[in-house]
A and B are shown apart, each in its own frame.
Chain A
Amino acid sequence: DQQVKQNSPSLSVQEGRISILNCDYTNSMFDYFLWYKKYPAEGPTFLISISSIKDKNEDGRFTVFLNKSAKHLSLHIVPSQPGDSAVYFCAAPIGGYALNFGKGTSLLVTP
């Protein structure tokens, strides 16, 4: 049963524009969310996180927004760069350690 859902398998954005990646979740007990970035043939790397006590967290070009009432979060990348092209996973921990991942969204940033 998929508790973290990323319904857009792919997204294409022009360099310099904003990329918005969406994530929905079903488990209201989740209190912490993470975004991971994955290049081909590499393991996922941590990008940014947000606690459920916040509705926004920003780190440079990356901002994550959390809407708890809608059980929805989004990752904004602005401005997008070609090097941002990767698969992005939304995840939430269960039991404090086991990460529940979405299926990922493949972002392509075109020059």
Chain B
Amino acid sequence: GAGVSQSPRYKVAKRGQDVALRCDPISGHVSLFWYQQALGQGPEFLTYFQNEAQLDKSGLPSDRFFAERPEGSVSTLKIQRTQQEDSAVYLCASSLDPTGNTIYFGEGSWLTVV
């Protein structure tokens, strides 16, 4: 498809389990973003890549969160030793440039930690 694709769409993890969330950005988009949206909240910035370089990871909530984009295309957000407070929708977005009005969001990966 032409849009940002995320997988899995839904993930239930037991507390303490590691999870990996995948994002396929729109082809040719150099910028890639991860956001976390908790229930009843707006999306919160996690991290930003320009090609394979992670330029900003200031929003990652703890060192259990790790993101990579090794070849400048597909990105993976990994959460180690998941906790209940990690339950949220994880949104990936991509853009040709970083300006807000050209950012395209995926449908999100819904993570529930039980």
- Chain A interface (Cβ < 8 Å from any Cβ of B): 4, 6, 9, 32, 34, 41-46, 49, 89, 91, 93, 95-104
Contact = CB atoms under 8 A, between A and B. Distances in A.
Interface residues of B, number: 27
A45 B31 contact: no
Interface of B: 4, 31, 33, 35, 40-45, 48, 56, 58-59, 91, 93, 98-108
17 contacts: A4-B42, A34-B101, A43-B93, A44-B43, A44-B105, A46-B100, A49-B100, A91-B42, A91-B100, A97-B31, A97-B48, A97-B99, A98-B45, A100-B45, A101-B43, A102-B42, A104-B42
Contacts, number: 64
A9 B43 CA distance: 15
Contact of B44 (A32, A44, A101): A101
Contact of B98 (A6, A41, A91, A97): A97
Contacts of B31: 97
Contacts of B43: 44, 89, 99, 101
Contacts of B107: 41-43
